[in-house]
Chain A
Amino acid sequence: MTEDYEHREESKSTYAPIILAAGIAVLLFGFVIFLPLAVVGGIIIGAAVFMLFKDGANEKFAEFKESVEEKWPLEFLSKEKLGIWLFLVSEILIFGGLIVAYVYVRLSSNSWPVATQTHDVILGMSNTIILLTSSLAMVFALYSIRGGNIKGLRIGLIGTFSLGAAFLVIKLGIEWPQYYRNGFTISSGLPGSTYFLLTGLHAAHVGAGLVAVGYLLFRSFHGGFTNTKHSAVENIGLYWHFVDIVWMFLFPLFYLI
């Protein structure tokens, strides 16, 4: 595939991001107004993700090279990296705001259950170590492809995906059912609703990260990356490490304090 983006054909564009946004809108609208509509939204999202995988493999997400004047004052930053960091800024504000709200509600409350009596600390600590190890695997994947090592890239991505999936299985398959059996639910009071809101939102971000890592894995098996062309690995890695950082705060706030 040519690297000469200035002569790239105009047909190398994709509607996948717009369709994905529409699908998310229909999904959320359906949750509020009419539940079967949410199913339609889910189908649209699935189709958009499939398109993203296919279009990504056909390299429709290549970056145009601009002149320095068009990039000032951010000439030191590629468009892709600027985009991912701006996205992470919005995520910091979302999670930061929710965490501040949780702390406010908790400090304003007359009584709050003891963390270590409500939550399994050892399970939470194990999950934290699993997520930290998945970040290490992601770093391994990036440094492998920087050195042109495709096999190392695939091993790192498989490790990241497996450990991320293990995190979700422990959280959603073991912890949450245990809490529900003990009467600690999203509607059992403020402690429950704040816990499930924040950790649920985090789990959704882990799930989205798994889809992104799955996309990288798919492309790695279709010759999508080389030692000079792997910015997607780095940028999705930035998102994955951010998800890890959020858990560094959620774990002590809910399980220890």
Chain B
Amino acid sequence: MYVGIWLGLVVATVAEVVTRSLAGAASLLALIILLISSGKAITIAMYYQHLRYEDKRLAILPIAAVVGVIFLAVAAAMTMSMGM
């Protein structure tokens, strides 16, 4: 199973590079690439870090940290929109 997951991650990495060379709006391509990389990160966390098989309450810790980062990103976006 883990070799299969590794293979999927490698294919996803190649897909990111291929996406970069496609024609299209730069922001759309960037979004697709970041979605692929997020999927890869979640896959590693769920399977290699075993979050999928651990007590669900353990996931609260990394999710809380990610929420903190999202909060920071929202604050930065608001600062940018105010022209600061």
Contact = CB atoms under 8 A, between A and B. Distances in A.
Interface of A: 76-77, 81, 85-86, 88-90, 92-93, 96-97, 99-101, 103-104, 107-108, 116, 121, 125, 128-129, 132-133, 135-136, 138-140, 143, 237-238, 241-242, 244-245, 248-249, 251-252, 256-257
A138 B57 CA distance: 25
A248 B37 contact: yes
Nearest to B33: A252
Contacts of A242: 49
Given A89-B62, A93-B68, A249-B41, 8 more contacts: A77-B58, A81-B58, A92-B69, A104-B80, A133-B6, A237-B49, A241-B45, A248-B40
Nearest to B74: A100
B19 to A, nearest CB: 8
B66 A257 contact: no
Q: What DSSP secondary structure best describes chain A's contact surface?
A: helix
Bin chain B's interface residue count: 35 or more
A139 B48 contact: yes
B64 A132 contact: no
A62 to B, nearest CB: 22
Interface string B26-56: 0001100110110011001100110000010
B34 to A, nearest CB: 6
Q: What DSSP secondary structure best describes chain B's contact surface?
A: helix
Contacts of B14: 125
Contacts of A132: 6, 9-10, 13
A252 B37 contact: yes
Nearest to B39: A248
A244 B65 contact: no
13 contacts: A76-B55, A77-B55, A77-B57, A93-B65, A96-B65, A104-B80, A129-B10, A132-B10, A244-B48, A248-B37, A251-B13, A252-B37, A257-B33
A108 B80 contact: yes
Given A97-B72, A100-B76, A252-B16, A136 B66 contact: no
Nearest to B14: A125
A129 to B, nearest CB: 6
B57 A128 contact: no
7 tightest A-B CB contacts, nearest first: A96-B69, A92-B65, A89-B65, A76-B55, A136-B6, A241-B48, A104-B76
Nearest to A99: B69
